[in-house]
Structure 1
């Protein structure tokens, strides 16, 4: 829609299928940037500051935990909510303690787009799901 300012989302996931699903489900309402691992995400974050980050945990090169640490260390990324996506059953709950204001929560794969959208809306309006 011309003239509409769209919130920006960075999707970081090593699965092209998950990235595509999120792009299709969210691109009507959000500008989507995508990265296949944390290193690519770091490169994107140097040029584009998103309004929220959807971050997979298990990825090659630089996993979600390492990427989260990178995000926490960058002053330019302060305050950006992070929503973790994962298919693993056990997750590092210490992530929540590292920055409870920024931590939005976890969504389990396979993703439910309605749940993803609701969590994004809640996070962008200042609420958390964690």
Structure 2
């Protein structure tokens, strides 16, 4: 099967990497990295079409990698989706500052409808 795109998954949690890889590997060529340094090395050698990036890693900040990607001519145009469990206001503030500087990405977080006191609406 000809895979349509190459996706770089950057997450220090082995289970998260495994879930993302197993979910996507039927349709996409997946490269997994457990650290920002490893991801930088991959990006210097490979062309990827999309980066799935955790921002909370014990071995480096995903925000640092995000900024490095967006300042390098070889990775500037690669879309980045942040996949994180962070709910901190500090991370939201960092994301807002990055957005104002022109960095563009999408954050995916599960919504806890019970704690929000709402039921999901599918209208």
Same fold (TM over 0.5): yes
- Write out per-residue CA displacement over residues 61-104 of structure 1, whole angstroms, 9 at most, x where no aligned residue: 3210111111012101121101011111122222223335xx23
2:114 — aligned with what? none
Which blocks of at least 5 consecutive residues in structure 1 are unaligned? 111-130
2:119 — aligned with what? none
CA distance in 2, matches of 1:59, 1:22: 16
1:70-109 maps to which residues of 2 (within 5 A)? 70-90=68-88, 91=91, 92=94, 93-100=96-103, 103-108=104-109
1:5-84 maps to which residues of 2 (within 5 A)? 5-84=3-82
Larger Rg belongs to = 2
- For normalisation by structure 1, the TM-score amounts to 0.74
Which blocks of at least 5 consecutive residues in structure 2 are unaligned? 112-123
Corresponding residue pairs, total: 106
Is the CA contact (8 Å cut-off) linking 2:53 and 2:82 kept in structure 1?
yes
- For normalisation by structure 2, the TM-score amounts to 0.78
